Each structure stands twice: as C-alpha cells, then as structure tokens.
C-alpha cells in the first residue's frame, strides 16, 4: 500500500479543509430547505438539483482542466459561484430558490472534476479520496448541527440560510496554498477525448448509473422522518453524516489495501440494508447504514477512476456526470413515489444497490 509524501498530504488536507467549509455551508441550507418548502415532489426536485445537476456540468469543466492544464483557477471560481448563490437564497422568495440552486450546482460543476483530478495525482488514491470525503462530510455534520442550533434557538429560516451562505466565502483561503499540479496540455478535441476514454472508465459507467439511482438525496429522508413538533430529523441527518465520516475514513481508505471492487460491493450492500431499515420504520438504523454505505462507495469509486484513466479531469467529469444525472432522476422520482406509495418506496429502491453490486461483480 503506497504512502503519500509530505506535499501530497498537504494538498489532500488543504482541499479537504476547503470542502469541509463549503459543506458546512451547503448542508446547513440542505437541512433547512425541507422545513422551508413543504412539498414532497418539490423537495425531490430540489434534492436532485442539489446532488445531481451540477454533476452534469463536470464533464465539460473536467475536459477544460485537461485541455489547458489549469485546474486550480476553475476550483476557486466554482467555490465562489456557489458561495454567492447560497447567500442569495436568504434574500429572495421561495419561487426563485430553484434558480439559485441551479446556480449553486453550476459552481459545483465548475470545481469538482478539476479538484478531483488534483487529488488523483496522489499516489495513494484511496487515502486521498477517503480523507477528502471524511473532511467534506465533517463539514456536512457541522453544517447540520449549525442548522439545528439556528432553527432551535432563532427559528428564522432566512437568517439561518444567510449565515450558512456567507460561511461559504471562507473556502477561498485554504485554496490559496494548494499548488497547481504540473501536467501536459491535452491536444484532443472534446469529442475525441470522450472517444478515447480508457476501457476501464467506459466499463464503470453502468455501476455509476446504478449507484446513482441507489444514492438518492438524504433531504428526502429528512422529509420522511420529520415531525411538526421538533427538528429531530435534522439530528438523524447529523447521524448519517457522522457515520459517513467514519466510513470514508476507515472503510473507503481500505480500498488501497483490499481493492476498490470489494469496498464498493460492501457499500452497495449497506445501502440496500439502509432502505429496508427505513421501510421498517427504523430511521436511526437506516441513516446509520446509509452513511456507512455511501462513505464506503464514493472514495473507492473515485480512486478506481483515477486508477484506470490518464486524462483524469475528463474521466472524473464523465463519471460524475453519469452518476449525478442518475441521482437527479432518482431523487425526483423518489419524491414523487413517496407521496403516492409511502414507505413502500424504500423497498422498491432497495433494488438499485443490489443491481449496482451485481454490476461491480461483473467487472471482476
């Protein structure tokens, strides 16, 4: 198992700190929205926009980061666009929220593939992506607790979103110290770069789609578990983030030792069990298992893409676009079905992680 050198560790922790601050901002808003907008179908759409739409843009910006061998400026631009749009959410009517959510996801689409391409230059990729995901989700946990505190003690949704949005501007400071990785200019056109993706990336597209359908927005779980009397569901979401951190740190990282496929299979199995637990009404167990499953799958998947690709910005963009569009469709459909079928929706959706596990097994 390879170990990162000092400069690689510093890059991983600086990018992780940036993501931690950003996710503290984003997830505080994420946790507030189900209380601000009381419509299951609309929540499903919002959740899909939050988790999916920006991923559709990652392909373009991943390619551009390869094409010009300049990743850091795109990362910085993306975080600034997101911070501005999130802060604006507190200042507009609820009718304009989808527009700002789209703008926030555009920021995510600009930054994520170039950032992940930087992380994939670290030799121990399981370490790089697991530490980054752990810090990212630590921010989500802190943001969730911030939302709970603000709603419980202040009770003003707009003020809570304003505080959360302004926090996002602090992401720029750690990025100033991240070195720009050296790389050759990509001479291929956009279409040619897609056509010359490695076989390993192309073969992983089906698992990416199936895991995307399995990994719906946790905002929908908050909606299902919430009550009018308390903000208990936000604490359940904090539990999800806590176990995501633990899983990314200890399980996701172990893909360097035990192989990417085994860890992804474990992640899919845990997600399926999470759906069944929530169908049975055990939201505590369901949120816990879901956090463990996603925390295992994502670092291993990103590390796998880094392993099997050369033009990593483009490859990361392809993976995240396919995965993200699947999340967008799945979250929107889940929100719609939840309003019609109720808890039975959890049983139906347990099929997707099982299918994802079988697709990973077929790669081996």
CB 172 within 8 A of CB 287: no
Residue 211 in domain: yes
- Confidence category of residue 67, pLDDT binned at 50, 70, 90: confident
Residue 287 in domain: yes
Q: Determine the Cα–Cα distance for residues 103 and 219; give it in Å rounded to an integer.
A: 19
Residue 186 in domain: no
Task: State yes or no: pLDDT of 63 exceeds 50.
Answer: yes
Rounded-to-10 torsion of CA 41, 47, 49, 53: -120
Residue 162 in domain: yes
Which position has the higher pLDDT, 122 or 44? 122
Residue 255 dihedral angles phi and psi, to the nearest 5°: -65, -25
Q: Determine the Cα–Cα distance for residues 214 and 330; give it in Å rounded to an integer.
A: 8
Task: State yes or no: pLDDT of 350 exceeds 70.
Answer: yes
CB 77 within 8 A of CB 111: yes
Predicted pLDDT of residue 22 = 95
Q: Which domain holds residue 83?
A: 6-181+192-363
With a CB cutoff of 8 Å and minimum separation 6, the contacts of 29 are 86, 89, 143, 147, 161, 164, 165
Number of domains the chain contains: 1
Q: Determine the Cα–Cα distance for residues 40 and 46; give it in Å rounded to an integer.
A: 10
Q: Per residue in 71-84, pLDDT tens?
A: 899 999 999 999 99
User: Hey, what are 324's tokens?
Assistant: 């993200």
Residue 117 in domain: yes
CATH number of the domain enclosing 297: 1.20.1250.20
Residue 345 in domain: yes
Average pLDDT, the chain: 85
Predicted pLDDT of residue 195 = 78
Residue 1 in domain: no
Share of the chain above pLDDT 90, in %: 39
Q: Determine the Cα–Cα distance for residues 215 and 164; give it in Å rounded to an integer.
A: 25
- Confidence category of residue 56, pLDDT binned at 50, 70, 90: low
Nearest to 266 by CA among 283, 243, 289, 288: 289
Nearest to 216 by CA among 359, 86, 52: 52
Residue 78 in domain: yes
- Confidence category of residue 45, pLDDT binned at 50, 70, 90: low
Window from 32-41, 54-63, 124-133, 141-150 with minimum mean pLDDT: 32-41
């Amino acid at each position: 198992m390879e170990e990162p050198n000092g400069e690689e560790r510093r890059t991983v922790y600086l990018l992780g700190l940036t993501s931690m601050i950003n996710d503290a901002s984003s997830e505080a808003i994420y946790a507030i929205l189900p209380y601000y907008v009381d419509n299951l179908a609309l929540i499903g759409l919002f959740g899909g926009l939050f988790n999916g739409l920006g991923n559709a843009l990652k392909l373009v910006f991943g390619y551009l980061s390869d094409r010009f061998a300049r990743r850091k400026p795109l990362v910085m631009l993306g975080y600034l666009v997101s911070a501005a749009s999130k802060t604006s959410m507190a200042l507009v009517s609820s009718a304009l929220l989808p527009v700002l959510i789209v703008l926030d996801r555009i920021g995510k689409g600009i930054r994520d593939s170039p950032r992940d391409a930087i992380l994939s230059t670290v030799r121990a990729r399981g370490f790089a992506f697991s530490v980054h995901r752990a810090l990212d989700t630590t921010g989500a946990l802190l943001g969730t607790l911030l939302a709970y505190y603000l709603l419980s003690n202040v009770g003003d949704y707009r003020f809570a979103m304003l505080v959360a949005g302004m926090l996002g501007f602090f992401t720029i400071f750690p990025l100033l110290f991240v070195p720009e990785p050296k790389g050759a200019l990509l001479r291929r056109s956009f279409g040619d770069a897609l056509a010359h993706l490695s076989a390993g990336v192309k073969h992983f597209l089906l698992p990416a789609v199936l895991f995307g359908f399995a990994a719906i927005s946790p905002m929908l779980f908050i909606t299902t578990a919430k009550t009018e009397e308390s903000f208990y569901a936000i604490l359940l979401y904090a539990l999800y983030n806590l176990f995501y951190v633990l899983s990314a740190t200890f399980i996701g990282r172990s893909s360097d030792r035990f192989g990417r496929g085994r860890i992804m299979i474990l992640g899919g199995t845990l997600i399926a069990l999470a759906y069944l637990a929530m169908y049975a009404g055990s939201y505590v167990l369901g949120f816990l298992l879901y956090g463990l499953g996603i925390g295992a799958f994502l670092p291993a998947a990103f590390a796998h893409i880094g392993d099997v690709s050369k033009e990593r910005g483009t490859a990361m963009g392809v993976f995240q676009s396919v995965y993200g569009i699947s999340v967008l469709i799945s979250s929107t459909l889940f929100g719609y079905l939840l309003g019609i079928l109720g808890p039975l929706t959890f049983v139906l959706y347990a099929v997707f992680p099982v299918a994802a596990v079988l697709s990973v097994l077929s790669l081996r």
